[in-house]
Chains A and B, each alone.
Chain A
Amino acid sequence: MIVRIATEGQYDVSDEDTADLNRLDNEAVSACEASDEAGFRAAFDRLLDYVRTKGTLVADDELFGSDMILPPPDVSLAEAGTEFQGEGLIPG
């Protein structure tokens, strides 16, 4: 599956790693919902690291639409809370 880290690039992550991704994502989301800045930063960084290490960077001459798009690495807790959840989101 193709995962894009916004402002960074696309990674090809094996479908087998989806469960791990899901767990890491749930951690980031609960920290975000709890407005736990440090917790969110740590969880989100773990999620990004997972994608970067487990995935392979999609070459510049490959043209894929992404299956998932993660917020930019420097996203703030406030941005993550308002822009990447709740309103403004397209489900699915």
Chain B
Amino acid sequence: MPGLSGRMSTVVKAKISKLLDRAEDPSETLEYSYQKQIELLQNVKKGIADVVTSKKRLQLQEEKYQQQVVKLDTQARQALAQGNEELARTALERKNGLQTELQSLDSQIAQLEEQQEQMTASEQKLRAKIEQFRSKKEVIKAQYSAAEAQVKISEAATGVGEEMADVGLAMQRALDKTENMRARAGAVQELEAAGTFEDLTQLGSGEDDIDRQLKSLSTGSEVDSELAKMKAELGGGAAPAGELGAGAQTTGGEGAGAGQGQAQ
């Protein structure tokens, strides 16, 4: 429809160059054996497997971070109990940084999940189209003259070719995103490995790179308030100003009341 496309602005009227580059020439597509189309489907499957692998990797990393958050929290408490506030602060800062990282991992995993679903749907659609092409081709061959059949099969092949190109584009975009996530996850892992400490006593007084990076990630005030809370907890009843100390007393009193309430 030349009149129509002439009035259209570029976004709509243009067929995306990327898609056109990948779309097969219909006459060429005709030469594609069923085998070749199945091969392309296998590529889509491989792409899906790639996304699944990346997702699993991120999930493993998430678990590891969660364990480390618990560990750092314990270490901060231990350090504080020993009166080493500086060390407790460092541990909390690391914990804070890891928690930020955990949030970002969460959203990345959700994105990959979505991509996996989309690609699976694309794969099924392409499979249906290839199947349809195969049976249609046979019907057309049987019903039409050679010249007519050529035209009709060509039309059908355009549909399959465009679908294949589109799935290719979708896969490329999904893999690009996954690649970015993988690169980021790898970088974080390296940072983490560089600064991991099994035992707090092994931590020297000097800051290493990871410390500075994590520190910049975390906001000082969050760490401060957490530190104060921890101090109050450790101080127990001896610290009258501690919120939690006071809270514990109140809870104790109410707890008894609540027990009675439940009994009634």
Q: Which residues of A contact B (CB under 8 A)?
A: 1, 4, 6-7, 9, 18, 21-22, 25-26, 28-29, 32, 44, 47, 60-72, 74, 80, 83-86, 88-92
Contact check, A83 vs B9: say whether CB atoms are below 8 A apart.
Answer: no
Q: State A4–B161 Cα separation when bound (angstroms).
A: 13
Contact of B162 with A85 in the complex, beta carbons under 8 Å:
no
Chain A's closest residue to B9 (CB) is A29
Other A-B contacts than A7-B170, A25-B8, A83-B16, 4 sampled, CB-CB below 8 A, are: A22-B12, A60-B129, A63-B136, A88-B17
B10 within 8 A of A: yes
Query: Which residues of chain A come closer than 8 Å to B247, judged between CB atoms?
Result: none
Q: CB within 8 Å of A: which residues of B?
A: 1-2, 4-20, 26, 118, 122, 124-125, 128-129, 131-133, 136, 155-162, 166, 169-170, 173
Q: What is the bound-complex CA distance between A22 and B9, given in angstroms?
A: 7
Binding site secondary structure of chain B: helix
8 A-B residue pairs with Cβ-Cβ distance under 8 Å, sorted by A, are: A7-B169, A7-B170, A63-B156, A64-B159, A65-B155, A65-B158, A85-B11, A92-B5
Closest 6 CB pairs of A and B: A63-B159, A65-B158, A60-B128, A7-B170, A88-B17, A29-B9
Let me know if B11 and A63 touch, CB within 8 A: no
B19 CB to nearest A CB, Å? 6
Query: How many whole Å from A55's CB to the nearest CB in chain B?
Result: 13
Are A70 and B132 neighbours in the complex by a CB distance under 8 Å? no
A25 to B13, CA, bound (A): 9
Q: Are A89 and B14 in contact (CB under 8 A)?
A: yes
Least CB distance, A4 to chain B, in whole angstroms: 7
Q: How far is the CA of A7 from the CA of B173 in the complex (A)?
A: 9
* Chain A residues within an 8 Å CB radius of B124: 60
Interface residue from B7, B14, B16, B159 paired with A22 (Cβ < 8 Å): B7
Which of B2, B18, B155 touches A83 (beta carbons < 8 Å)? B18
Query: Does A6 lie within 8 Å of B11, measured CB to CB?
Result: no
